[in-house]
A and B are shown apart, each in its own frame.
Chain A
Amino acid sequence: MNFRANIIILLSLFMYSITGNAQADGGQVIATATLGQEHAVMMVNPSPTTVGIVTVIVRVSAGLLPAQSFLTAHGASGDAPIQCALSDDPDGLGQRAMIECSDASRWTLSARVTTPHGDIELKGEFQVAPAPPKWQSQSPWILAWVPIAGILYIRQVARRHAKHYDASVESFLPTRNF
């Protein structure tokens, strides 16, 4: 029981620092269009975009729902364009697809959105930068031990300077002005 609790507690302490996590989409708006009073927008993320998997998000006003989107993407390399249908987002706000941008160049995206009120064409471009070296993209994981080592080091320093640290828990509570 205690063993399991320890694992949960360790995990919570480790992850408490990421409570500022954001799930919302962000990225780069690359195209907007209107159909009467209704609007559509296309964005890509992550931003800045590098070689690899890129998420394309298409969203339309509620008045245009339900909508179906079909995407065509190509880079400057002259390879065959990527064509795919977008799938519905879980939040019901729009549709998304993941494409693999294989070369570092300027990519062109065009999406045809079919709605009950007619079709909308969204077309835009975005720059794909070369993929960073593997050690660079993995550097947060490579160096994940450093903060823990830092805490252990601070603890060693504190052991040498703290007074009564090995007494009961009440001595852990700072006494002066706390």
Chain B
Amino acid sequence: MNAPATIWSAWNFLAPFTFVACAILIVYWRGWRRLHRAMPARWGWRRGSFFSAGVIALWIALQSPIDALASWLLAAHMTQHFLLTMIVPPLLLLGWPMPPFLAGVPRWLSRDMLGPILAWPRAQQVGMRLTHPVTGWLAMVLLTWGWHLPVTYQLALEVPAWHVVEHMCFLWGGILFWWSVVAPYPWRSPWPRMAIPLYLLSADVANTIVAAILAFSPSAIYPWYESTAPIFGVSALTDQQEAAAIMWVPGQLVYLIPAVIILFSALSSTRSQRAQQFKSIALPQFSISNRRAKRQIFDVLALPVIGAALKSARVRGAIRWVMLLGALAIIADGWFGPREASTNIAGTWTWTHWRGFAAITLVAGGNLACMTCPLIAPRTFLRRFITPRFRWPRALSTKWLAAALIMAWLLSYEIWSLWDSSFATAWIIAGYFVAVTVVDLLFEGATFCKWLCPIGQYQMALSVASPMEVGMRLADVCSNCQTQDCLRGNAAAPGCGTGLFMPKKVGNLDCTFCLDCVSACPHDNIGLLTRVPFVDITQDRWRSSIGVLAKRMDFMVLLAVIAVGGFANAIAMTEPALALVQYCREWMGGNYLAVMCVVLASMIAIALPMVVASLIGSTSRVDIRMRFSHMTLSLLPLSIAMWLAHLGFHFVTGFRSALPPLQRAAQDLGVNGLGSPQWSANCCAIMPAWLIPAQLMILGAGLLVSLSLMWLRAERSIESDTRTSLPSMFAVARRGFIGMLASLCWWAIGVWIVLQPMQMRGLLNS
């Protein structure tokens, strides 16, 4: 074989599997460390070394030059299969992987997910059958024979998907076969140990027959290699004989060596030794109590630099002033710059970049968009001179007005094509500044944020998915607090503008992440803490400043508008919707009316499953308003997924369009240091291949959360009705069926939207 020297450079170090292999090793060693501490004799370094060697051998089989050569030389392919079936599985199993993995994964995963499944009698039955020696022997022999037939081997070479299946068969078939030989602790073989040499020898015979057929065949069995093997200076037949030799000689050794070892071991040990060996196999004792493990909470404010910066009111204020400068630049460019939105930072930054970036940070981090909001910088400054005298009227202290404003925002965005008008965008931002400043100089607290701001409401709704929340560090400290500075404020900082009292605060709704409460708390007991996303909307308990969320119809309508708006906003940019607008325009004669009708019709159509499910659903016996609330809250994750998929799409496809308008604006001001704008970035959207799969995965994740919430609601309602725990699966499925159907309808709409040709808004060719 005369492969070029460069073949040895064909190591695929940065393949995804490299990271997977590292992650597998991290989990294993994490669990091994715990076991080693408890039982150092049983869990010695040898176990970890075996497992690590197995993972490294697997990596070599899949990412080394062996893999690059596999489709050109049968001998290389045979080496790869030899590693996958004969070397990797026994090494992995000699590491006794099951207990380290159970101990290595997070406790919630082993306790709440793997625990019930592994302790399920049916799962145990399946496990016993799969790991039975007969299953292992049949798997190895049948897979070896089946995949070496010319038709299947050729298929694997031609179709990459079948190649993957072939490798998985060899790896998992090998694991099933070697399971009985290695007998990884704490598994106990149903067969006596003396039977294993026979098990190995009989499998060796089956392997030898295939090797012999390959070795003594007068012609090449696999036509593929007739074309490819000569590239390396060998005929297909010689290559086939080399492959047969690999299968035969090292293959036979791998079968025979353990057979001999097991045979001698069994013959040399006495009955009492065997009994002692059997007795010593006891289930491992993990240092986990029976109580539910307390979740570890991570506090961003406890970090050395970032935490200290965020805790400082001056730093937070400075961030807002920087954002304000950016907003003023956007307004100025919108007013005085070119009218074409894609060449103006008012058009691109506002609608393409900020919206997408905000949606991503809301879901990935927290309500950082409200935290850095530039709109409150002027009012904070002016409040040094003007003290608000009034309280927001009680009659208006609901979310109805905010819901109406969001509806107006959604409609006006489409009717006046705001994304396409930098001039109008600049006026809207300027008007927003004026409105916030006037309202908040007249009324106390963060009145605009809490009761009026449509952007804030949207951001607070999306932050239900955030893995962060502003919360108290220790409950005892708050329960002993007499001053309640987090709410009322003090000389150091104002209290919560939206009226949230920390000990009773639940989730992120109505929280702007302004962190004034952090500055005000004299006990330094408030942090930016990790949490389980969506967990607060599963709870019906009373929450500060809101009450019982499910009973607040104004809040529910607000969330429903945001939820429906997520889909309607995305539908409006699809080609079928644009064609419908065109048709309505010709039919009705008015552009604004046509757009409004199409947007409203789409909103009604999207809302229909939710409304119908609320009307006829039987998620609980409570009144229809509660059913609507539960439906809205359960569908919210799916809607958040739609917002994220949609705005993330614009962010990714229009990412490169951020710089040219800035360069143009700088040049207009006589600053040439940023270079000349390359407008090709603003006319040709680049859609990476991963974008649609990523959007679909996000929608799928949203659906899973929505379905889980529906299930949870149904289960709880039956439990409260019947006063029993864990009702039957059928009863839960029946009660939650309509809600789950509504979730599937929304998901199907979302998938349809993602797969449609899209209008590339904010770009020159939109």
Interface residues of A (CB under 8 A from B): 1-3, 5-6, 8-13, 15-16, 18-29, 32, 34, 39-41, 45-48, 59-63, 65, 90-93, 134-135, 138, 141-145, 148-149, 151-152, 154-178
Contact = CB atoms under 8 A, between A and B. Distances in A.
A58 to B, nearest CB: 10
A94 to B, nearest CB: 8
B659 interface: no
B313 interface: no
A33 to B, nearest CB: 10
B587 interface: no
Interface in B619-649: none
A174 B296 CA distance: 28
A156 B729 contact: yes
Contact of B693 (A11, A138, A160, A174): A138
Nearest to A60: B231
Interface of B: 2-7, 9-10, 12, 15-17, 19-20, 23-24, 26-27, 30, 58, 62-63, 65, 67-72, 84, 98-99, 102-106, 109-124, 127-128, 156-160, 163-172, 186-188, 190, 224, 227-228, 230-233, 283-286, 288-290, 292, 296, 298, 467, 530, 692-693, 696-697, 700-701, 703-704, 707-708, 711, 726, 728-729, 732, 751, 755
Contacts of B30: 5
Contact of A23 (B67, B113, B696): B67
Contacts of A12: 20, 23-24, 26-27
B697 A19 contact: no
A43 to B, nearest CB: 8
Given A3-B530, A5-B106, A26-B158, A61 B119 contact: no
A41 B228 contact: yes
Contact of A157 (B17, B115, B729): B729
Main secondary structure of the interface of B (DSSP, over half): helix
A38 B714 CA distance: 71
6 contacts: A9-B27, A18-B17, A92-B4, A93-B72, A138-B693, A144-B696
Given A24-B68, A61-B231, A138-B692, A13 B3 contact: no
A61 B232 contact: yes
Most buried by B among A143, A159, A163: A159
Contacts of B5: 92
Tell me whether chain A's interface is mostly helix, strand or loop, or mixed.
Answer: mixed
A90 B10 contact: yes
Given A8-B23, A92-B7, A138 B116 contact: no
Contact of A93 (B4, B117, B292, B751): B4
A1 B296 CA distance: 9
B9 A91 contact: yes
A138 to B, nearest CB: 6
B308 to A, nearest CB: 19
Contacts of A151: 113, 117
A158 B164 contact: no
Contacts of A34: 230
A164 B115 CA distance: 9
A26 B163 contact: yes
A26 B227 CA distance: 13
Contacts of A138: 692-693, 696, 755
A39 B63 CA distance: 26
Contacts of A13: 105, 109
Nearest to B2: A62
A57 B127 CA distance: 44
Given A23-B12, A41-B228, A171 B119 contact: yes
Given A2-B296, A11-B20, A173-B284, 19 more contacts: A1-B298, A9-B106, A20-B170, A24-B71, A24-B163, A26-B157, A45-B160, A91-B10, A92-B7, A93-B231, A145-B701, A151-B113, A152-B704, A160-B728, A171-B115, A173-B102, A173-B283, A174-B118, A178-B188
Given A154-B117, A168-B290, A92 B700 contact: no
A29 B229 CA distance: 12
B751 A176 contact: no
B119 A142 contact: no
A19 B168 contact: yes
Given A41-B231, A160-B728, A15 B16 contact: yes
Contacts of B118: 162, 172-174
A19 to B, nearest CB: 6
A22 B67 contact: yes
B240 to A, nearest CB: 17
Contact of B164 (A21, A145, A161): A21
Given A26-B158, A178-B188, A168 B286 contact: yes
